[in-house]
Amino acid sequence: MIRPSPFIVLVALAGLCSAPSLHAQSLDAQRPAMRDALTAAEAGRLDAAASSSLVRHPLYGWLELAALRRDTDAITNAQAQAFLARYDGQAVATQFRNLWLAALARRQDWPTFLAAWKPTDSVALQCAHLQARQATGRTDAAWTEQAQALWRKGAKSLPDGCDPVFNVLASQGGLAPAVRWERIEAAAVERQTGVMRSAARGLPGDEAALANDYAAFIDTVHPRALNWPKTDRSRRIAAHGLAKLAQNDPDTAERLLPQYADALGMGERERGQVLYQIALWTVASYGPDSARRLGNVPESAYDERLHEWRVRDALSRGDWPAALAALRKMPATQRNDSRWRYFEARMSEKTGDRAGAQRLFRETASSPTFHGFLAADRLEQPYALCAWIPNDAATAKQAVARDPAIVRAMELWRLERPGWATAEWNDALSRFDDTQRRIAVEVAQDNGWFDRAVFSLGKQPDEQRLYQLRFPLHHGDTIRREAAKHDIDPAWVAAEIRAESIFNPKARSGANAMGLMQVLPSTGAGVAKRWNIPYAGAASLYDADTNIAIGTAYLREMEDKYGVPYVAIAAYNAGPAPTARWQAQRPGFDPDIWIETISYKETREYVARVLAFSVIYDWRLNGTALPVSDRLMGRVQAKRKAFTCPTAQMPKS
């Protein structure tokens, strides 16, 4: 007797999916069975008949997908079309369609490919779509235009499947030298010299040789460029190559720039591009020539990034007038950011303009940010915080929670399928209005999916005031217990968790930091041993209680080692070696200035973020807050602050 394949049985059972879906209690009861079925399907061990009890489960389509994506090349057209029809309009159909289209492209079944086609962001599938149209005789003017558009945006290497399209485009005269040069120059901006050489293959001999020499210069600066034709293109390419050199060797780039600038007739724009990189990569490590090289950059080449570094360089040297002058050269929108308005106040204060400083502090103190909180401390004012707690009807939340895509998203999240869960989530939000989107975030948090507030709120300005959603508080008893054990402020622990994992206990970084507080296994083992915390290997870090116990103990160790929390927070993010270097470079600096002059952008922003989050979590936990100026120094017994809602931040009626 021939037994049908698991997928065939799944398809047969799927015909029953028109029956009512399961209630929440039934979903809870069937969660273990669905988890096991998905795992078995992905491993090719699914007993489809035994899984018949799951046919009414809202994730049955994902179970089918898990089974069939093991070998999409073996799926028949009829099976694929039936799947797409069965789940039309759902995220699972979109996921399958892309797999199916890729399989059809491998088969070169172009008529079926075109019949199944829907637009996608996948460049590989876009190229396959063009190939399908070409193979079926549909290379009209629109085809040529779309193929050229793909070519032009290919500053980086495109999938191999695009090569047949470009070969046809070239054979039809669609890749004239001017079009090839467009891609060569775009690739030069990205320093993709392999793409430059590839695009040059269809150029006439002399032009191809020059294009290849351009690519060679970006790889390694060479003197042949001194004899290039004095064209705008040569000047741009030389600037790209010298700018790249400046990132690794600003001294050599500065020495060579005059030769190439004179030989090729570089103008301010090209020279400024190179001088920008020379200055940036000098000041990023606070080299001795930082101020001079920043001064060499023409103002026309300055952007927000270099404006910031000009301020930091002056701060690092304790040159308060220069810092103030640099701040006042910023564009108005940048200068009015709470960070730079605060430092303009500080520099005004340090240069004797107390009245101007007070005015700027007052303006900054209305911002519920790290620098806004610092400004309020300077003024001895309450913190500005205008929380918005919507009064949505229970029926509105019930309607969102019952949305089929939200039901599937929440269940997939509970089953630790974050990629699929996000696909369903995005599908739901594409149909939701602002109120439904906000309520959906609340539903996600009810299900333990806390990062949706970070990724899905903020489209409307008032959503920034949804502090209870944007700053979730989970495992509160464990946080308080472990914080008390180690004499650590629980708001600091909560802030670290929010900054590290957004309360996802299964979070894992590319560096293998794990769990709520993103602890490395080696660190976890060492801390657990020193503090006698039960530990059964790296997997223990996915247990919330264990992770918080280890992470909080590690914070205690960091504060004991570095003396003050703001340096401990920097070390928690960057590690001991950079932190020791920053301490040695700028000993005795005021904490706010030391934080701002941290070399690493990630760590600089991380320290400010954790300290600001600590204030907000203090508000959530206690209704008042330890002043951030005391918090960063570890003065936990300081007089606490109240919160107020300034008129400027009042909720809209």
Neighbour tally for 227: CB within 10 Å = 11
Cross-strand partners of 514: 508, 519
In the block, residue with structure tokens 């149909």: 431
The radius of gyration of the chain's CA atoms, rounded to the nearest angstrom, is 30
Q: Where are the alpha helices (DSSP H) in 447-541?
A: 452-456, 467-470, 476-485, 490-500, 521-531
3 state DSSP class of 265:
coil
Instruction: Please tell me the distance from the alpha carbon of residue 64 to that of residue 7, in angstroms, as a whole number.
Output: 7
Tokens (6 digits) for 401: 């929670």
Amino acid of residue 106:
R
Instruction: Please tell me the distance from the alpha carbon of residue 268 to that of residue 298, in angstroms, as a whole number.
Output: 7
Please, what sign has the CA dihedral across residues 144, 145, 147, 151? positive
Angle subtended by helix axes 404-414 and 434-446, to nearest 10: 30
Q: Of the candidates 226, 241, 295, which has an alpha carbon nearest to the alpha carbon of residue 273?
A: 241
Tokens (6 digits) for 555: 């914070």
Identify whether 500 is a catalytic site residue.
yes
Q: Of the candidates 634, 623, 630, 649, which has an alpha carbon nearest to the alpha carbon of residue 378?
A: 630
Cross-strand partners of 508: 514
Q: Where are the alpha helices (DSSP H) in 119-175?
A: 123-135, 141-152, 163-171
Total count of residues recorded for the chain: 653
Neighbour tally for 580: CB within 10 Å = 13
User: For the chain, how many helices (H) and strands (E)?
Assistant: 37, 2
End-to-end CA distance of the chain: 72
- Catalytic-role residue among 500, 557, 559, 596: 500
Instruction: Please tell me the distance from the alpha carbon of residue 284 to that of residue 300, in angstroms, as a whole number.
Output: 20
Torsion angles phi and psi, residue 247, rounded to 5:
-65, -35
Cross-strand partners of 557: none
Q: Of the candidates 468, 420, 460, which has an alpha carbon nearest to the alpha carbon of residue 442?
A: 468
Instruction: Please tell me the distance from the alpha carbon of residue 433 to that of residue 400, in angstroms, as a whole number.
Output: 11
Please, what sign has the CA dihedral across residues 253, 255, 261, 266? positive
Q: Of the candidates 132, 206, 135, 146, which has an alpha carbon nearest to the alpha carbon of residue 174?
A: 146
Neighbour tally for 45: CB within 10 Å = 9
Instruction: Please tell me the distance from the alpha carbon of residue 373 to that of residue 361, in angstroms, as a whole number.
Output: 10
Which residues does the annotation mark as catalytic? 500
